Amino acid sequence: MIDINLIRENKELVKENIKKKFQDEKLPLVEEIYELDKKYRETKQKMDEKRALKNKLSDQIGSLMREGKKEEALKIKDEVAKMGEDIATLTQDEEKLSQEIKTKMMVIPNIIADDVPIGKDDSENVELKRFGDAFVPNYEIPYHADILNTFNGLDKEASGRTSGNGFYYLMGDIARLSSAMLSYARDFMIEKGFTYCIPPFMIRSDVVTGVMSFAEMDAMMYKIEGEDLYLIGTSEHSMIGKFKDQILKKETLPITMTSYSPCFRKEVGAHGIEERGIYRVHQFEKQEMIVICEPEDSASWYEKMWQFTVELFRNLDVPVRQLECCSGDLADLKYKSCDIEAWSPRQQKYFEVGSCSNLTDAQARRLGIRAKGDKGNYYLHTLNNTVLASTRALIALIENNYQEDGSVKIPKALQPYMGGITVIKPHK
């Protein structure tokens, strides 16, 4: 959520930002909010003036009664009672206007960074840099589900019976490899100075609406029937939510945390759920990182965070690239974002394995995350980034370490988590 002062003082900036995100249907909201805010402030001023006068007259009543001017005191008392009714009405009007403004403000997108490329959707994202050689071997690399099946490592038939499409069983060496990656990602981030956390896997609706837009929530979140709880789509939500309505001490900043969690996603949209493989599924595991910092530090943290993911994947012998998200591909709360994509030697193209985002103070305003400064309380900046998402990282790992004989090399970084073995071999 943006600062209301932007609409009060620079409506055109807000409108231009909406146009950059190709959300012209939201343009009328800016004028609506502007007029509602004017009415809100007028109502508040009237209420404050009446309340001040009421207090002043109330003080006079006591003085008049002591002076024996009972009739005059009673007349003022009637006037004060009428003022009380007016103040109650104005208070109701103020609360109604405040809620209406907040509801509309929640739909206005965050102001994007000046250097964000302008584009309608992810097809217009811009490649910034590649890391590692995108190598294609001179032998065929099968589809990832077929590779996993040679290890007896994937069972989607059984998960179809228990849970339906979009779920899976990982078995044997493949399950162990998936867990090894997550354990390595955890320790990698701890070594970077992040505090390890296992958060709640369900959160309330006021946290959900604090960390993401309504459109994202509808497309992603599973609601627990009969309760005000949602299954998390990423642990960033519960980790940022941990600081809801808190005023943090400056000496505790920055807060840097890394978390493990299962993630649950409806995956509603054009892409759909993958029938055979595990690229787009309803459930996976994830190591995440978040930072809560001073506003002036968020740009430098953004650069550090996406580079951590690049470093981790290079340690797994996976070539990656950084892709700058264009304006139309940015979720409403994001100021700036980039995807990290892994090389697929089978498809001979890159695919998304993580995303890093700077949300400036948009989440903090929704959730009330502030710090106490010399000139009063102020909103902090929040950032999040995928360290490793289990299923997509597993695909990238096995494709880039697949050998001609069907075996998969274990990267050196993972060998301690795999009991020291250097290769896993398919079942005959």
- Omega into 426 within 30° of 0, i.e. cis? no
Residue 53 — pLDDT band, cuts 50, 70, 90?
Answer: confident
Locus of tokens 């097809």: 123
Q: Which residues pair with residue 423 across a beta bridge?
A: 409
Tokens of 422: 């250097």
Is the pTM higher than 0.85? The answer reads yes
The pLDDT score that the predictor gives to residue 216 is 75
Domain extents in the chain? 4-105, 122-424
Residue 52 — pLDDT band, cuts 50, 70, 90?
Answer: confident
Q: How far is CA 80 from CA 63, 73, 425, in A?
A: 15, 10, 87
Q: List, for residues 314-347, the tens digit of each pLDDT value.
A: 999 999 999 999 999 999 999 999 999 999 999 9
User: Mind giving me the DSSP string for 185-242?
Assistant: HHHHHHHTTPEEE---SEE-HHHHHHHS-HHHHHHHPEEPTTSS-EE-SSTHHHHHHT
For residues 53 and 166, give the distance between their C-alpha atoms in angstroms, rounded to a whole number.
65
In terms of Cβ atoms closer than 10 Å to its own Cβ (0-12, 13-18, 19+), residue 59 is: exposed
Query: Is the CB of residue 19 less than 8 Å from the CB of residue 111?
Result: no
Taking 60 as the threshold, does the pLDDT of residue 76 lie above it?
yes
Residues 6+ apart with CB under 8 A from 103: none
Q: What proportion of the chain, given as a percentage, has pLDDT over 90?
A: 82
- Topology of domain 4-105, CATH: Helix Hairpins (1.10.287)
The pLDDT score that the predictor gives to residue 89 is 87
Q: List, for residues 216-236, the tens digit of each pLDDT value.
A: 777 788 999 999 999 999 999
Q: List, for residues 84-141, the tens digit of each pLDDT value.
A: 888 888 899 999 999 999 999 999 999 999 999 999 999 999 999 999 999 999 999 9
Q: HSE, CB side, 13 Å, CA atoms: give it for residue 143.
A: 10
Query: Is the CB of residue 153 less than 8 Å from the CB of residue 172?
Result: yes
The pLDDT score that the predictor gives to residue 413 is 97
Class of domain 122-424: alpha beta
Does 122-424 match 4-105 at the fold level?
A: no
